Structure 1
Amino acid sequence: MNPADTITLSGITAIGYHGVFDFEKRDGQPFVVDAVMHADLGAAAATDDLAKTAHYGDVADTIVALIRGDAHALIETLAVRIAEAILAGFPVVSAVEVTVHKPKAPIQVPFGDVSIKVFRSRAAGSGA
């Protein structure tokens, strides 16, 4: 296994309804997700076979569905759900790092970004 192999998706964006305030759940706002998937890509490269890797289009669809799906009070919950879904849906992925950005978080001071980063792996008992 080559743990240095990664597939990275950056800036997957969709409107979601996550937050602790009623107006966040009612009005929605953009959420941006980055995912770094760790996988041994040797078999995919050797055979040129899409079935031996994580189809990044399908991963992106999974992320968007979760952003748009059930509302959560915390983006921590969203990040963990995305990580768990990637591990469950893409067997070649051995570990994943997911960052959820909430660029329009209701903060009363100037800021550039709010983000949560989680790391989950099959070895860590992620349930996948």
Structure 2
Amino acid sequence: MADRITLTGLRVFGRHGVFEHEKRDGQEFVVDITAWLDLTKAAETDELKQTLHYGELAELAAGIVGGEPYDLIESVAGKIAGEVMRDERLSAVEVTVHKPSAPIPLTFDDVAVTVRRER
């Protein structure tokens, strides 16, 4: 499937990490999501119900990132991907969770995990 909807740079405060201070203090996470689905009907009808509502997609991801704390961003990305794939119209989803303030005692720009789920 070549059609896709992409949401990038969703910033959400969360409390994920293996260290106690990460769960206690929290930090900002950045999420990118690409969902593959057939957008032919949406393009033909101009009806929102024929597509994936990207506002609802953002709310779903924000609820997971801002919700229950996980040790690993792999778990956060996997949870988002699993929830997005509940929409049977999707053929695949790719979720990247960035942790730009990861507790690494070196200079770096970003740490990210990407998961892909498909039918």
Once the two structures are TM-superposed, the CA of residue 110 in structure 1 deviates from its matched residue by: 0.4
Where do 5+ consecutive residues of structure 1 fail to align? 124-128
Aligned match for 1:93, one of 85, 90, 95: 90
- Match for 1:11: what amino acid? G
State the match for 2:113 in structure 1: 116
Contact 1:52–1:92 (8 Å) recurs in 2 = no
Instruction: Supply the distance in 2 between the matched residues of 1:32 and 1:54 (Cα, whole angstroms).
Output: 20
The residue number in structure 2 matching 1:58 is 56
Structure 2 CA distance for aligned equivalents of residues 71 and 87 of structure 1 = 21
Moved over 4 A (4+): none
TM-score for the superposition, normalised by structure 1: 0.91
1:47 is aligned, of 27, 33, 45, to: 45
| Kept in 2: contact 1:39–1:95 (CA 8 A) | yes
Aligned residues: 119
Distance 2:5 2:89 in 1: 11
Identical pairs, percent = 49
* CA distance in 2 between partners of 1:53 and 1:47 (Å): 10
TM-score of the pair, normalised by structure 2: 0.98
Task: List gaps (5 residues or longer) in structure 2.
Answer: none
Shift of 1:94: 1.6
Correspondences of 1:7-26 after superposition (within 5 Å): 7-26=5-24
Supply the RMSD in Å over aligned alpha carbons: 0.7
